[in-house]
Amino acid sequence: MSDKSTDNRVTLQGLACDASNPHQLRRALDEALDYRGDITITRKSSGESIQGYVFDRTSAATLSDSKIRIIPTNGGQRITIPYDDIAQVRFTGKDTAAGRSFDTWMKKYVRNKLAGEAANIEPESLDDA
């Protein structure tokens, strides 16, 4: 995790974690829940790669009892995937929240005001994220 966004948070985009280390897999899936971009999960059972947004997870004592729920990018049905069926997690989508903290907005607002530029309270578009 070496890339930093403009608000000094580590961005996960582009990182991957495989299932060889269960502790790291759990940590990656915890991070995926807070990630505001798409991830890609490769399943052990089928080799299928599913890209989508993680919206829920159940973290239990064992990998087989732990699960994530994902909304596929292709608009399909929500999918529940047990941790022990995950071969790899990749953070493939842009984190739409990266660099969009209130502190970042305030710094930009003050900088623009001090430079005599128009400083407004309108939010930035997510389209150019």
In a structure prediction context, what are the per-residue pLDDT tens digits for the chain, which is 129 residues long? Answer: 334 444 444 577 767 888 888 989 999 998 888 888 899 999 999 999 999 999 999 989 988 899 999 999 988 899 999 999 999 999 997 766 666 566 666 777 788 778 777 666 565 565 554
The two beta strands, 86-90 and 79-82, are unpaired
pLDDT score for 87 = 96
What's domain 16-90's architecture? Roll (2.30)
Q: Which residues share a beta bridge with 72? A: 52
Domain boundaries, the chain: 16-90
Q: 3-state DSSP call for residue 26?
A: helix
State both tokens at 35. Answer: 């990630």
| CA nearest neighbour of 74 among 93, 91, 51, 56 | 51
Burial 51-72 (b: 16+ CB within 10 A, else e): ebbbeebeeeeebeebbbbbbe
HEC profile of 60-116: CCCCCCCEEEEEECCCCCCEEEEHHHEEEEECCCCCCCCCCCHHHHHHHHHHHHHCC
Which pTM was predicted? 0.65
* pLDDT 10s digits, 51-88: 999 999 998 998 889 999 999 998 889 999 999 999 99
